[in-house]
Amino acid sequence: MISAISPAGALYFQCRRTAFDSAGVIEFLTELHAEVSGKLLVIWDGASIHRSDEIKQFLREGADQWLTLERLPAYAPELNPDEEVWNRLKNIALSNICCKRLAELEQLARTTLQKIKDSVDIVKGCFAKVGFS
């Protein structure tokens, strides 16, 4: 799963059964750009998929006209509002859950993310938790 949140209270997410790689991140950013008009500022961690040659090429091919990428300091999850989304998912909604099938876990995760998405106050709270008001 990958997600993006905005200080205005919007949550965007994408789920897939395989790990995200740079191509998957580019796909998500492209879909996000189609959903959100105008320029985007993405603040993310220093994961290798965020620093790849594919991402650099994506920017050179024109994404830099609508996308600005800023990297958080290393080992600073306390500065990342998106971490609170994942905390709510993993440690609150899905804690002590035992699913018999991957599809069941996937559906629970999607349902939980949709509930977070539907609550502007929760998304704004993710920013407040890291010091943004």
Listed by start position, the domains of the chain span 2-129
CB 1 within 8 A of CB 112: no
Q: What is the pLDDT of residue 61?
A: 97
Question: Mind listing the pLDDT tens digit for each residue in 87-117?
Answer: 888 888 888 889 999 999 989 999 999 998 8
pLDDT band at 3 (very low <50, low <70, confident <90, very high): confident
Going by DSSP bridges, is the β-strand pair 67-71/11-14 parallel, antiparallel, or unpaired? unpaired
Distance CA 14, CA 67 (A): 19
Tokens of 17: 């059964």
CATH code of the region 2-129: 3.30.420.10
Question: Mind listing the pLDDT tens digit for each residue in 24-83?
Answer: 999 999 999 999 888 998 888 888 898 899 999 999 999 999 999 988 887 888 888 888
CA atoms within 13 A on the CB side of 107: 7
Q: What is the pLDDT of residue 133?
A: 65
